[in-house]
Amino acid sequence: MNNNPLLQSFDAAPFSEIKNEHFLPAITELIEQAKKEVDEIVENDDAPTFENTVERLEFSGAQLNRVTSIFFNLNSAETNDTIQEIAQEVSPMLSNFQNDLLLNEALFSKVKQVFEQQEALKLTPEQHTLLEKQYKGFARNGANLEADEKKQLRDIDAELSKLTLKFGENVLAETNDFELLITKLSQLKGLPSGSLEAASQAAKEKDKEGWLFTLDYPSYIPFMKYAEDRELRKKMSLAFGARAFQKNENDNKANVLKIANLRHRRAQLLGYESHAHFVLEERMAETPKKVLSFLDELLEKAKPAALEEFEELELFANELDGIDQLQKWDGAYYAEKLKQKKFALNDELLKPYFKLENVIDGVFEVAKRLFELQFSEVQRIDKYHEDVKTYEVKDYNDELVALFYADFHPRPGKRGGAWMTSYKSQQIKEGINDRPHVSIVCNFTKPTKTKPSLLTFNEVTTLFHEFGHALHGMLANTVYPNLSGTSVFWDFVELPSQILENWCYEKETLELFAHHYATGDLIPMEYIEKIKESATFHEGMQTLRQISFGMLDMAWHAQNPDKVNNVKAFENEAFESTRLYPDTPSTCMSTSFSHIFQGGYSAGYYSYKWAEVLDADAFEYFKQEGIFNKTVATKFKDFVLSQGGTQDPMELYVKFRGQKPNPDALLKRAGLLKK
C-alpha cells in the first residue's frame, strides 16, 4: 500500500508510476477513507451548520474522486482487458459507496436540517445552489424511501453500473473486430491518397499485404464518402450499423432492454413517471412534454427541407449512376459528389490547409484573443500514452489557469468519437484557488510517412467543439468542485462547445491557421467563401438526423419499456416520422448508441439541438459586436464559462446576452427559416 502512487498526494496524475494492479487496492482503500470522512460529519455532536455538514461533505472523498477519474478516463482512452475487468469490479463498489452515502439517514437528516433553515443563513448564491443540489441529490436518490425500497434501489444501481460498462465494451469489441482488407487497388477507386496511405500503413502494422479499413471514424468516414465501389460501401455500412446486433457474445439487444427497464423501475421507485421525467427535472427543458414539443417544432421546420434535399440527392444519383433507390451506404458518397458540383469544394481540397498542429495553434490563438490565455507545450507532465500532448495554460499575469492534455489519434485501446474530460476539478479551498486539469480526446487520422495529420473541415469543427468544453473546464472559477466547470445542467453544457464551432466559418479565424502544410500558402479566399456558402448544405437532412436520435432516446426513456421485446421493431417505430432511407434489417442504432446507453445522454440527446439554439443566439451577439470583441468575450467568460453550475443557467445566459435566446437565430443560421 505504501508504494501505491495512487495513495500518495499528487498534483498531475502520475501515469508513468501507475500499474493496473494499483487501481483496485487504491480504490478500495480510498472508499474506506471517504466513509470515515462521512462518519466524522455524522458523529459530530455540534448542531448541523452549512460549514460542518454541507461544506465538509462537498470536499470529502477528494482523493477517491481523483483516482476514479484517472481510472475511468484510462478505461475510455487507453484500456485493455485487465482494466475492463477491474472496471466491472469497481463500478458496483463505487455504486454501493454512492448509495451508502445517499441512503445514509443520519447524514441526510443533518443536510435536511440545514436545508430547512437556509432562509435564516446568510448564504451566497453559490452556497444556496450547493445546499439545494446536495439536498436534491439525497431526495432524488432514495433518501426518503423505506428500507426495502432502498435495497431495491441499491440492487438496480449496482446492476446498471455493470450493464452500461458491458454495453460500451461490446461496442468497442465489435468496432475492433471488423476489418476490410483489400488487395486490389482497382477496388479502391475514388479514395483520396491520404486514406490509401493510412490504410496501407494500417495493413503493414498488422503484417498484412494491401489496404486495411476499419470502423474507426478516420478510416470509415472517408471510405463512405469517396469509395466508388458500391458493394464495398455497403459492406462497410452494414458492418458499422450491425455493431453489437449480431447474435454473438457482443450482442447488446438484451443489455438495451435491461438498461431501459431498470432505469424506468428506478424512476418509478423514486416517484417519477419515467426515467425522462426524473432526468429532466434537473435540465433547462424540465419535462418530456417540452422536449417532444421542441423536437416536433424543429421537425416541422426541417422535414420539408430534408425531403427536398433527399429528392434532389436521389435525382442526382440517378442521373450520375442510374441509382433508382438511395440506400444508407449511398448518402455520404453522393452528398459529397453533389457538394463538389455545387460548391467545387471537398475535403481533399481543404485538408492540406488543416494540418493538425496548425489547427491547434489556431484554436489557441482564438482562446488568446477572446480570453487572454497562453498555451505552452511542456514535456515534464506525465502522460498515459506517447501520443498525448501536454500544455500549461496561463493568463496574461503569468498565473497558472490549467493543465491541458490533448490526445488526438485512434488506437486499439481507445473508444471512438471525441470527448472532453477532467483529471482534477477546480475549487477554492482554504483561500487557495486550485486550478483544473482538463483533457480532450479525439480520433483524427495519424500522420503517415509522407504527410502530417491533415483534418477534414468536419474534424476542425470537432476540435473546436471539444476545446470549447475544455475552456468551460479551464476557466472555471467557483468555490465548490461539484459546481465547477462543466458541472452544469446537461442541456446547457453544450453551449460553450457549440458556440466555438462558429469561429471555424469566419474569415478572420481561418486566416490565423489555415495555411497549406507544404507551401505555407494561406487558404484561398474563394475557399473561405465556399465554406460559408456550403455550411447549410443538407442542413435539413442533418437536422432531421439529430431529431431522429433525440426521438429514439425519448422513446426509450419517456415511457414504460417493459412491453418492448423487439429492439429493432421498437426503434423502427421511433424513427418513422424522420425516416428518409429504406430500413436495413441487419442493422440497429440502439445497440451501439453509446451516448444514451453508456454515456450521460440518456433522456438528454435533444440537448445538442437545444444548445444549438443557445449558441446560434449567442454567436449572433458576437457577430453584431465583432467576433473577437473583448467586451462580449469577457461577459461570456464571466457569466458562462467561469460560473459552472453556481446559478440557474437561464439566469446566467440572460446576464451574458441581456435577453432569453431566440430560436429563430438557429433556424436563420440553418437556412430553415422561411423568408
pLDDT tens-digit readout, 582-625: 999 999 999 999 999 998 899 999 998 998 999 999 999 999 99
Q: Determine the pLDDT at residue 370.
A: 98
Q: What is the mean pLDDT of residues 636-662?
A: 95
* Per-residue pLDDT band at 579 (split at 50, 70, 90): very high
Tell how many helices (H) and how many strands (E) occur in the chain.
Answer: 27, 9
- Triad 546, 547, 548: Cα angle to 5°: 90
pLDDT beyond 80 at 534: yes
* Per-residue pLDDT band at 674 (split at 50, 70, 90): low
* Per-residue pLDDT band at 670 (split at 50, 70, 90): confident
Q: What is the CATH number of domain 5-144?
A: 1.20.1050.40
Q: Determine the pLDDT at residue 293.
A: 95
Three-class SS state of 648: coil
Provide the residue ranges of all domains of the chain, joining segments of one domain with +.
5-144, 178-241, 273-343+539-601
Least confident stretch, 55-64, 271-280, 486-495, 627-636: 486-495
Q: What is the mean pLDDT of residues 230-243?
A: 98
For the chain, how many residues are written? 675
How far is C-alpha 420 from the chain's CA centre? Answer: 7
Q: Determine the pLDDT at residue 48.
A: 96
pLDDT in tens, 164-186: 999 999 999 999 999 999 999 99
H/E element, 441: strand 437-441
Could you tell me the pTM of the whole model? 0.83
Three-class SS state of 24: helix
Among the listed residues 421, 428, 425, the one whose alpha carbon sits nearest the alpha carbon of residue 406: 421
Q: Give the single-character DSSP code of 396.
A: T
Least confident stretch, 571-575, 583-587, 617-621, 667-671: 667-671
Strand partners, 405: 390, 439
- The residues annotated with a catalytic role in the active site are 466
d(Cα 488, Cα 470) in Å, to the nearest integer? 14
Whether the CB-CB separation of 431 and 180 falls below 8 Å is answered with: no
d(Cα 237, Cα 180) in Å, to the nearest integer? 12
| Mean pLDDT of the residues in the chain | 95
d(Cα 435, Cα 247) in Å, to the nearest integer? 48
Which region, left, alpha or beta, applies to residue 566 given φ > 0 means left and ψ of -120 to 50 means alpha?
Answer: beta
pLDDT in tens, 88-114: 999 989 989 998 998 899 999 999 999
